[in-house]
A = this chain, B = another copy of it.
Amino acid sequence: MGSISRPQSLIELHTEQGPPLALTDRAYAVLKHHILTCELRPGQRLIEKDLCAEIGISRTPLREALNRLGLEGLVSLVPYRGYEVMPVTMQDIRDMCELRYIVESEAAARAAERATPEEVDRLTELAELRYTPGDRKTYENYLRANSAFHQLLAHCSHNARLEATVVSLLDHLQRPLYLGLDLGLDAEAATAEHMVVLEAVRNKDGERAARLMREQIVDAEQRMMAALASEAGTSLMQSSNQK
């Protein structure tokens, strides 16, 4: 089965081994990963020639990848002027959090009603998070594991569109988290939050799963906004244009 062109989540991008057969796909995967992890910083100008050299491909497949990313809202693309990594604005983060509040809680409710026993088992495996404060490596593992849990939960809604919406949101929301932004992360608390939602799913209590999810997302949003507010002024949100 050939690899179809669809958005790939950060999780998938990281799991994936062999180079996809089409160079466009590889360029898309590499760039998306770099953008979501802020290795390519928000606001950074992107030059075709440089990226080609870096990835080791020619301009045609690179441009096709950039077009996909443009449609996805990860790079801004102005004809005849060039590309830049889409800046992260406060307003956009607020919008994403509000949308997440709406769709992820409803996804949790559907998941509670529709998840198969196998899916519940898999959720249980992913629920536990570990994190050693101060260690960058485990921090990134934490972020990935947390996303993986929420993605699988969305998948359990058995609604592909709903899942895609949630996955896209989670991906985009990774960027502020990778910006050095240390909100007081607590692996045990996060694990506990996963556990109570999971319990509601096990009991097929959609109402409760949705309510818990809403509480947790409001919580997460407030922590993020607080951290951002304290960082305001420091040019985290939008780098100037250094290479």
Tell me which of B60, B79, B162 contacts A95 (CB under 8 A).
B162
Copies of the protein in its oligomer: 2
CB-based contact A78/B162 at 8 Å: no
A7 at the binding interface (Cβ < 8 Å) = yes
A106 at the binding interface (Cβ < 8 Å) = yes
CB-based contact B5/A67 at 8 Å: yes
Count chain A residues whose beta carbon lies closer than 8 angstroms to a beta carbon of B.
Answer: 43
CB-based contact A71/B6 at 8 Å: yes
A64 at the binding interface (Cβ < 8 Å) = yes
Tell me which of B2, B20, B80, B96 contacts A81 (CB under 8 A).
B2
Classify the secondary structure of A's interface with B.
helix
| Residue of A4, A102, A169 ringed by the most chain B CB atoms within 10 A | A102
CB-based contact B71/A7 at 8 Å: yes
Q: Given contacts A21-B79, A162-B102, are A6 and B70 in contact (CB under 8 A)?
A: yes
Contacts of A99 in B (CB 8 A): 103, 159, 161-162, 165
Tell me which of B64, B92, B159 contacts A67 (CB under 8 A).
B64
Residues from 1 to 26 in A contacting B, C-beta threshold 8 Å: 2-7, 20-22, 24-25
Tell me which of B6, B70, B95 contacts A160 (CB under 8 A).
B95
Contacts of A65 in B (CB 8 A): 67
Which A residues have a C-beta under 8 Å from some C-beta of B? Answer: 2-7, 20-22, 24-25, 60, 63-65, 67-68, 70-73, 76-81, 91-92, 95-96, 98-99, 102-103, 106, 110, 159-162, 165, 169
